Amino acid sequence: MAVEQTLSIIKPDATARNITGKIINLFEEGGLRVVAQKRLRLSKEQAEGFYAVHKERPFYNDLVSFMMSGPVVVQVLEGENAILRNREIMGNTNPDEADPGTIRKLFAENIERNSVHGSDAPETAATEIAFFFDPSEIVG
């Protein structure tokens, strides 16, 4: 086991419902620590760039519009096996398939408006953290 950092985004469907605290509580109860955090509204360039890996997927344009539709909270989460742990706490992309007690089972509205993003591997975590945070903004 190793201490890792991962990039988390609380998505616009969740900020709209004022449940950022409930979500952060699940990360903290799950053993992760918020070591950087800011609330912002994504520009079109940011939303398109962040999800560029999904450019060819049929849901890409809708996803970009959704992610720009309201404020998001971007965070760096730290802990033992943080990348995998965060994805366990989030649950399956599709809330209908997510395990009980996961963020997406508890809070997601549907497969698109699913409340949270989390990096899926060490390489993407490093790239996604650098997309939003300067090293000086991450305080462990």
Q: What residues numbered 117-136 form the site for Mg ion, per CB under 5 A? A: 120
Q: Does 93 bind ligand IDP (CB under 6 A)?
A: yes
- Compute CA 101 distance to the chain's CA centroid, rounded to the nearest angstrom: 17
Q: Does 59 bind ligand IDP (CB under 6 A)?
A: yes
Contact window for ligand IDP (CB under 6 A) among 20-28, 38-46, 108-116, 129-137: 108-116
Residue 85: name its binding partner from Mg ion, ligand IDP, none (Cβ under 5 to 8 Å by kind): none
Residue 15: name its binding partner from Mg ion, ligand IDP, none (Cβ under 5 to 8 Å by kind): none
Of 28, 34, 6, 20, give the one whose Cα is nearest residue 139. 34
Whether residue 139 contacts residue 123, with contact meaning beta carbons closer than 8 Å, is answered with no
Whether residue 38 contacts residue 84, with contact meaning beta carbons closer than 8 Å, is answered with no
Name the phi and psi angles at 45, rounded to 5. -60, -45
Cross-strand bridge partners of residue 7: 76
Q: Where are the alpha helices (DSSP H) in the chain?
A: 12-16, 20-29, 44-50, 60-68, 82-90, 103-107, 122-132
Which of 95, 117, 125, 133 does the annotation list as catalytic?
117
Cβ at position 136, least distance to ligand IDP in Å: 28
Q: Residue 117 catalytic?
A: yes
Cβ at position 93, least distance to ligand IDP in Å: 3
Cβ at position 126, least distance to Mg ion in Å: 15
Instruction: Just list the catalytic residues.
Output: 117
